[in-house]
Structure 1
Amino acid sequence: MPIYKIANINIKINPKSQYLSALLRDYETNENNFDFTVTVTENDIINEKKIAPNFPDFLYESSATLRNISKEIFNNYNGVLFHSVAIEYSGKAYIFTAKSGTGKTTHIMLWKKCLGDNVKIINGDKPFIRFIEDKPIVFGCPWQGKENLGENTSCELGGIFFLQRAKENSVEPLPKEKSLFPLLNACDFPKNSMGKIKAMDFIEKLTKNTPIFLLKCNMNDDACYTALSAIGEENEN
């Protein structure tokens, strides 16, 4: 059974479909040790079908695999699956989160357009964030969204942006008390009382030393430079 290194954790997985095997390929490792095993059961498939009916079974296998990995990492490895897009720039990772359809992917593509190879897309949909030696590290993940943007890389978190569509571009620090519950909503965790408590503890720790911003933006290049101004970067153009 192959072993895959995801979020710096060795996971033994036996893909049944070519789809899942191809999805995981870039994360396969030659290491022999593993931290845990993920096996998708018939019950897992049934539960996935209840959530989103009328899809092929290979997609249910894929979503169940991710769900099981996310649960294990949340419970035992001090990490969460974070519904957002993540980029690396100037040695730090930046997370952009917003409601679906706001334009997260469009925004990070502005960064690529304006800053070229200085920007690396870590993940276009579902990065993991783990605390390692008390530092929040953003990890790429095989599940990269419909645009399939991302790679097998990691970087220390430098900041979080909440995106809002607007006619004019502006950015401002977001007070911690206004960011806690939106960040909680972006996390994947068991929706029970203990899960919520643990997730809130994670978010409290995440926000302790991480700059958080509200970025109101349009889809012009200046939106990228407005965001850059918040992290102390000059517009070199």
Structure 2
Amino acid sequence: MNYYSIADLIIGFEPKYSMLREHSKPYLCTESGVADYVIPPNAPGFAEVVAAHPEATEELLEYLHIGTLFYSLFIQHNGLMLHSSAVVVDDACYAFSADSGVGKSTHTALWLKEFVDRGAYILNDDKPAIKLKDGRFFAWGTPFSGAENISVNRAVALKAIAFVERSETNSIERLSTKEIMPRLFKQTIRPSDERLMNLLLNTIEQLVEQVPMYLLRCNMEPQAAHIAFEKMSR
């Protein structure tokens, strides 16, 4: 059994395939200790993952299964997963969320180029863990970071979130709570368990209160990164 430090939790699991094993290497614990959770090889929920991804390989199914279990456990610790690409500039994290294929990673790639002199890097390119800690929200890198495996094992204060839509022109506007909720729920795990759902709702309520969220309509020109940063960094 291997143990991994992921978003302030010690998780035990044994990867069978290389995808999960390679993604998880930077999170291996170097010190022995008591795990917060152990995920056994026969952990529940695998059939549901198979049903949702019938064309996936066994390797990908293992990766998705362990990720789903981790983020479900994470809900119990004032946390949630946001399907997004999280970029760090000036030691602050900005998360860009959208359906797969819209271009969130393409947009954050613009930030890497345009703000290289400000130390820009990707914290997690697919599913950062967002958690309330000491009264503030932070984003964490996790092993569950998409096919390109782009993540950093650290926590960074979350400055803002933007939901991305494709457009020929660039614009960004602040969203109301009513506008945020359906977008946010679409891009996170929605547990069927009532207790977990109540915990998630409580975390989301605090997230909406503390972290500004925007609708970013953009093309893939460098100007899109500057327009977004100017608004979101205030």
TM-score (ref. length: structure 1): 0.90
Structure 2 matches for 1:1-237, cutoff 5 A? 1-33=1-33, 34-41=35-42, 44-74=45-75, 76-116=76-116, 118-232=119-233
Q: Summarize the Cα distance change of 1:99–1:55 in structure 2 as closer, same or farther, 3 Å threshold.
A: closer
Q: Give the share of equivalent positions with the same residue, in percent.
A: 28
SS of structure 2 residue aligned to 1:85: strand
The one of the two structures with greater contact order (alpha-carbon pairs below 8 A, sep at least 6) is 2
What is the alpha-carbon distance in structure 2 between the residues aligned to residue 107 and residue 212 of structure 1? Answer: 16
Q: Which structure 2 residue ranges, 5 or more long, are not aligned?
A: none
The answer to whether the Cα contact below 8 Å between 2:6 and 2:142 also exists between their aligned partners in 1 is yes
Contact 2:89–2:115 (CA<8 Å) still a contact in 1? no
The DSSP-based 3-state class of the residue aligned with 1:46 is helix
- Aligned 8 A contact 1:165 1:217 in 2: yes
- Alignment check: 8 A CA contact 2:78 2:200 kept: no
TM-score normalised to the size of structure 2?
A: 0.91
Cα RMSD (Å) of the superposition? 1.8
Whole-angstrom distance in 2 between the partners of 1:2 and 1:122: 23
Name which of structure 1's ranges 113-122 and 193-202 shifts more when overlaid on structure 2: 193-202
In 1: Cα distance, 2:174 partner to 2:226 partner: 16
Determine if contact 1:40/1:64 at 8 Å carries over to the other structure. Answer: no
Can you give the 5+ residue segments of structure 1 that lack an aligned partner in the other structure? none
Moved over 6 A (4+): none
Query: Aligned pairs, how many?
Result: 232
The 2-side partners of 1:47 and 1:148 are apart by: 24
Distance (Å, rounded) in 2 between the aligned partners of 1:64 and 1:230: 37
